[in-house]
Amino acid sequence: MSTVPTDIAIAQAATPRPIVDVAAELGLGPDDLIPYGRFKAKIAPEAIRARRPKGRLVLVTGINPTPAGEGKSTVTVGVGQALRRLGQKVVVCIREPSLGPVFGVKGGAAGGGYAQVIPMDEINLHFTGDFHAITSAHNLLSAMLDNHLHHGNALGLDSRRITWPRTIDMNDRALRQIVVGLGGLNGGPSREERFVIVPGSEVMAILCLATDLQDLEARLGRIVVGLTRDKKPVTAADLRASGAMTLLLKDAIIPNLVQTLEGGPALVHGGPFGNIAHGCNSIVATKLGLSLGDIVMTEAGFGADLGAEKFLDIKCRMGGLNPEAAVVVATVRALKMHGGVKKDGLGTPDVAALKRGLVNLEGHVANMGKFGLPVVVALNRFVTDAPEEIDTVLEAARGWGVRAALSDVWAKGGEGGEAVAREVLAILAEGKARFKPIYDAALPIKAKIETIAREIYGADGVDYQAAAERNIAQCEAMGLGQTPVCIAKTQYSFSDDPTRLGRPKGFRITIRDVYPSAGAGFVVALAGEIMTMPGLSKTPSAENIRVHADGRIEGLF
């Protein structure tokens, strides 16, 4: 069995480079940094404006996640470390973790084992305060909305048609549906309210898609907070909130520079979830990485049917980005779960179940080809993997006509990622990528939803509940008919049923509602019973986390 220490033990045992030295590797001087202590910094805005993208973009995505674990962030960081070992000027660009999953079940998002970004504990907790700024900006708009209602409602908002929620960065199911304004005459009008988790906030999406402060303020102003009685949209600009919201976000829009365990540069910025939002780090950080390095390794949330599709159809479209390769991460354990093995049986070799589960990986690989991206399958190794299981996956992937290699970055860091890194370099040397989004944004909303459902999910078609039908018409009347579509769907399956693993056939997708994210620049379609405010499990990770008197942290992962 492995003797690799826990993630937090590895991170706290590391000796990080001063952040000025990490920045110097990218050609940045001390005056280009806004330090947050010795080991993390923001990049000064004037240093960002002076640079133009020149590097090559590689996306890391994966199969539909399972409780067995896949490790996209770990592979992203580890292959980034490997490319640096091979002499490449590489920048890792990933999302910031949300506190909800950190204290829930999923844990942090700083990688794992010997393929992490550090300081891991600070990145997974308050970091540079970006999430707090987003929370404050979002809730300022909520407060100004209710204040407007209290003082006469000159804009004529219909309290039954208010769509703007409040937000908090914690898993708290009790806040999914509440009532506010119970404080008497001075408490404001009583009305139903709800909370979403910060990674699902439209302000988070806007921050990650905005290109600068001016664009940020314009996008914030376009946020639709609700409708009047005659169904006219009311925006944050109408409430005169966008200027103050931008002020709260003026530092949050600036990317954060940290380092990998091996001292390489990493930009960690923004954190929308891939199931309820668009699942990618910020355009500003990605473009900055492309201007500073020759290769950018970035990841997109959850399976390729969610995070990768949104990265390619939304982020790349809006940011003018041109990805040249996709690394699709899988594990033997997860593929066996897709093949019908229960979690407690994953340690036993089972090639037959593995072969049944390979259809999930095959589906995601095929989908990346539809976007014109050459693929490397990265098999993220677990210590329980049998040699015949590893060979089965690698041989199957090569049989589909794509490159494949074993990733052992969790146990070996950059050294364990060199096989995958060499395959990535081979793809970049061939230059065969022909990236193109899967749909034309000018298509009607339903046509875009159905294209994603059929081409990416493998559905036979789409059914729309009455609320979705009404709101599609409303979005199109508001001028949002020609924007991209962000489908909020379970991450566990190609379908909208989380129990249908593998590569299900003979199903239809049900869209139960559609709502505008006018500031972000897309419409959101809710498929199935997807929650925008997660809850804690019966035994959340928070129960096992503590900090000792000497500062040593226990239980954080």
How many other CB atoms are there within 10 angstroms of residue 151's CB atom? 9
How many CB atoms neighbour CB 556 within 10 A?
23
- Residue 37 phi/psi, 5-degree rounding, is 85, -160
Task: Supply the DSSP string of 410-433, one letter for each residue.
Answer: HHHGGGGGHHHHHHHHHHHHHT--
548: in domain: no
* Same domain, residue pair 152 and 89: no
Q: Give a yes or no: residue 185 inside a domain.
A: yes
24 and 65 belong to one structural domain? yes
What backbone torsions phi and psi does residue 409 show, to the nearest 5 degrees? -75, -30
Question: In this structure, are 44 and 59 located in the same domain?
Answer: yes
Do 371 and 260 lie in a common domain? yes
- 234 lies in a domain? yes
Indicate if 322 and 387 belong to the same structural domain: yes
> HEC states along 429-487?
HHCCCCCCCCCCCCCCHHHHHHHHHHHHHCCCCEEECHHHHHHHHHHHHCCCCCCCEEE
pLDDT of 110 reads 86
Per-residue DSSP letters for 241-293?
-HHHHHHHTTTTTSPEEEEETTS-EEEE-----TTTS--B--HHHHHHHHHH-
Contacts 24+ apart (CB under 8 A), 543-551: 545/103
Strands (E), 150-189: 157-162, 166-168, 178-180
Q: Which domain CATH number covers 120?
A: 3.40.50.300
Residue found under tokens 């098999």: 379
Residue 235 within a domain: yes
**Cα(541)–Cα(75) distance, integer angstroms:** 23
Contacts of 523 (CB under 8 A, 6+ apart): 445, 475, 480, 483, 484, 485, 486, 514, 515, 516, 517
Length of the chain: 557
Both 123 and 232 in one domain: the answer is no
Same domain for 275 and 228: no
Q: Is residue 550 in some structural domain?
A: no
Based on the domain organization, do 480 and 396 belong to the same domain? no
Tokens 């480079």, residue located: 17
Each residue's pLDDT tens digit in the chain (557 positions)? Answer: 457 788 889 988 999 999 999 999 999 999 999 999 999 999 999 999 878 889 999 999 999 999 887 899 999 999 999 999 999 999 999 999 999 888 987 777 788 999 999 999 999 999 999 999 999 999 999 999 999 999 999 999 999 999 999 999 999 999 999 999 998 878 888 999 999 999 999 999 999 999 999 999 999 999 999 999 999 999 999 999 999 999 999 999 999 999 999 999 999 999 998 888 899 999 999 999 999 999 999 999 899 999 999 999 999 999 999 999 999 999 999 999 999 999 889 989 999 999 999 999 999 999 999 999 999 999 999 988 999 999 999 999 999 999 999 999 999 999 999 999 999 999 999 999 999 999 999 999 999 999 999 999 999 999 999 999 999 999 999 999 999 999 999 999 999 999 999 999 999 999 999 999 999 999 999 998 888 898 998 999 898 899 999 888 888 87
Number of domains in the chain: 3
pLDDT (0 to 100) of residue 2: 52
Question: What phi, psi does 223 have (nearest 5°)?
Answer: -55, 130
**CATH number of the domain encompassing residue 468:** 3.10.410.10
Does residue 181 share a domain with residue 165? Answer: yes
Tell me the two tokens of residue 178: 């509440």
Tokens of 425: 């370099």
- Report field, pTM of the whole predicted structure over 0.85: yes
Contact predicate 289/93, CB 8 Å: yes
Q: Tell me, yes or no, whether 500 and 487 share the same domain.
A: yes
Neighbours of 435 (CB within 10 A): 17
166 and 33 belong to one structural domain = no
402 and 260 co-located in one domain: yes
Question: How far apart, in whole angstroms, are the C-alpha atoms of residue 53 and residue 32?
Answer: 17
Closest CA to 415 of 39, 85, 24: 85
d(CA 31, CA 28): 8
Q: What is the DSSP string of 511-535?
A: EEEEEEETTTTEEEEEESS--SS--
| Residue 407 belongs to domain spanning | 7-128+252-430
**555 within a domain of the structure (yes/no):** no
Distance of CA 307 to the CA centre of its chain: 6
Q: Are 151 and 302 in contact (CB under 8 A)?
A: no
Q: What angle do CA 95, 99, 103 make, to 5 degrees?
A: 125
